[in-house]
Amino acid sequence: MQPTPHVLHDLTFATVAASIGQKSELIDAARQVAKRPDNVLGLLLRALSREEIAVLENRGCRSDDWSQLQVAQDFDAFRVRRVNFKGPCVLGRFTGDVEVVLGFRQAIGIYDCTLSHCQIGNDCLLENVRLAAHVVIDREAVLFGVGSIVCSGAATFGCGVDLPIACEAGGREVPV
């Protein structure tokens, strides 16, 4: 029995939707979070050394518990200044500089920020971020002069929701 054109169209649409879902960066990121919520970025991590803690404190950084801070193997404590750490945080390596706007370059690192339960990837620049809480900031990101960037632990960003597509009567929901 030959499928009707309508059924054939639905199969094609479902195939395309499934294919898009398999190649989605957002879905891949959600899978990473589910697998390793304490190290979504997949960095090789270690605890801070006593010397690094001393450098951070001399540069105006604070933490209630330095043991909750994990850093990349080649972390440079001199690239972090006046940062208040709350809860577990992960920091990548910081090397080089980045052009923030045309003609204005800034050393990569974390300066004048408050971080709570964050994971910061390699070669990011965070400067004057009043509060970053419960967020993952991927490699080479620049956050400059931000009041707050906050996420609740329950946020799903639409993942796992069925999205009704082009059918007012229902019945063609596609999982996001």
Query: Rounded distance, CA 165 to CA 71, Å?
Result: 44
Cα separation, 8 vs 1, in Å, equals 12
pLDDT digits (tens, 9 = 90+) for 81-134: 999 999 999 999 999 999 988 999 999 999 999 999 999 999 999 999 999 999
Q: What pLDDT, on the 0 to 100 scale, is given for residue 40? A: 58
Segment 42-54 mean pLDDT: 91
46-68 mean pLDDT: 97
Q: In what order do the strands lie in the sheet containing 109-116?
A: 62-63, 80-86, 109-116, 125-133, 142-150
Stated pTM of the model: 0.70
Torsions phi, psi for 141 (to 5 deg) = -80, 155
Q: What is the pLDDT of residue 57?
A: 98
Query: What's the CA gap between 27 and 176, in Å, rounded?
Result: 8
pLDDT given for residue 92 in this prediction = 94
For the chain, the domain total comes to 1
Joined together, the tokens standing for residue 67 give 């043991």
**What residue numbers bound the domain in which 118 lies?**
1-176
Taking the CA atoms of 141, 147, 152 and 155 in sequence, report the sign of the dihedral they define. Answer: negative
pLDDT top residue among 166 and 47: 47
Give me the pLDDT at residue 38, please: 64
pLDDT of residue 44: 83
- Beta strands 109-116 and 80-86 are parallel
Q: What is the pLDDT of residues 1-41, one digit of tens each?
A: 555 555 445 556 666 666 666 667 666 656 655 555 566 56
